[in-house]
Amino acid sequence: MSKSIPYSHQCIEEDDIKAVVEVLRSDYLTQGPKVQEFEQHLSAYCGAKFAVSFSSGTAALHGAYFAAALGGGYEIITSPMTFLATANAALYLGARPVFVDIEADTGNISPALIEQAITKKTRAIVPVHFAGHPADLSKIAETVKKYHLIMIEDACHALGGRYLKGKIGDCRYSDMTVFSFHPVKSITTAEGGAVLTNNAGLYEKLVMFRQHGVTRNARAFLNKENYLGQWYYEMQYLGYNYRLTDIHSALGISQLRKLDRFIQKRREIAKIYSQAFVDNPCFQTPIEKDYAESAWHLYPVRLKDRYKAKKAEVFAKLRARGLGVQVHYMPVYLQPYYQQLGYKKALCPHSEDFYQREISIPIFQSMSEDDIDYVVKNVLGVFQEF
């Protein structure tokens, strides 16, 4: 029997399909009632005042950075152990990402190293909750406060996770939290994203940025003397069309109802793996800090020294057994585009070491018991081939 199990996969059920089809039969495919409904459910789930949906997690990051007034001459501090978009969205606005190294165990930005990276140009700190495991937000918040900065959580891995009993997305320690609803994430809208915030001013800017920088809110008009009738609107910023559609939003509403079940399943799989691989001589398993409940977006194992140089071989053997393993991530600054911008190798040694050891094995809500067994057997089996 040969299997093929991806590292992650969406879980779409009949009621999800029905919700989407209902919108297709309705009057509004986009800019209709489902968008706000999704946003209301999402903000209520997370415990934040506002949610603004976007057409992708990347667009949501762009919006959050814009709302934080990032622009030319400013810097954000983030981790290189992330998807490209975290850093790219700063470049979109002419700002510069400054990379701070990670903690070797969680793969999250090291709070102790942030302070020395702060300059006069620093505007925001952007912790990424790597693999769904929350970064140490209260520690990072101390530095944010001390230097009067903004904190934006890249929580694209972490919807459904918790930090110190609070839900990721409640923005208790941050100004904004960004989610993605790509099919590999906790819930999906196909493409989609959102920014959560408790700040009404940021909320207004996010809503405008998503739609060409336009407002129809009469109280916010800058040229009130131009107002002649109900058709009037004002463009006050250079925004984009970053809207999520009603089709996507309906899927999001339906998926959100299942989020707790999805996370519970991911947590169960992680537990099975961590028991099956306990004290493994070949690789280390991911941990959960006492302040964290991971959303287990990924299950990142790290090869021990004797296999580090053989990672490509281990990876190929896992793939040959039908495990759709992946690597998260090559540090962003090692990409050719970033190298051309002048970022140097060895900038973040822990991140580079992590990259050389890391392999993400399959974990997602629709895995069967058979799939889980298959992964365990074959991960253990691969190392017997050496």
Ligand X SMILES: *Cc1c(COP(=O)(O)O)cnc(C)c1O
Residues that bind ligand X (CB under 6 A): 56-58, 82-83, 85-86, 128, 154, 156-157, 180, 182, 193
Neighbouring C-beta atoms of residue 296, cutoff 10 Å: 29
Q: Does residue 196 sit in helix, strand or coil? A: strand
Q: Does residue 289 sit in helix, strand or coil? A: coil
Q: How far is the CB of 178 from ligand X (least distance, A)?
A: 7
Q: Which stretches does DSSP call E strand in the chain?
A: 5-6, 50-54, 75-78, 96-99, 122-126, 150-154, 162-163, 166-167, 176-180, 193-197, 214-215, 234-235, 283-284, 292-293, 299-303, 323-324, 358-361
Nearer to ligand X, 123 or 297 (CB): 297
Q: How far is the CB of 161 from ligand X (least distance, A)?
A: 13
Q: How far is the CB of 228 from ligand X (least distance, A)?
A: 40
Look up tokens 């039908």; give the residue.
322
Nearer to ligand X, 298 or 314 (CB): 298
Cα(339)–Cα(334) distance, integer angstroms: 6
Nearer to ligand X, 334 or 382 (CB): 334
Q: How far is the CB of 61 from ligand X (least distance, A)?
A: 6
Q: How far is the CB of 251 from ligand X (least distance, A)?
A: 14
Helix 369-384 / helix 259-276 crossing angle, nearest 10 deg = 30
Cα(98)–Cα(87) distance, integer angstroms: 9
Nearer to ligand X, 307 or 364 (CB): 364
Nearer to ligand X, 16 or 153 (CB): 153
Chain residue at closest Cβ approach to ligand X: 57
Q: How far is the CB of 245 from ligand X (least distance, A)?
A: 14
Nearer to ligand X, 111 or 127 (CB): 127
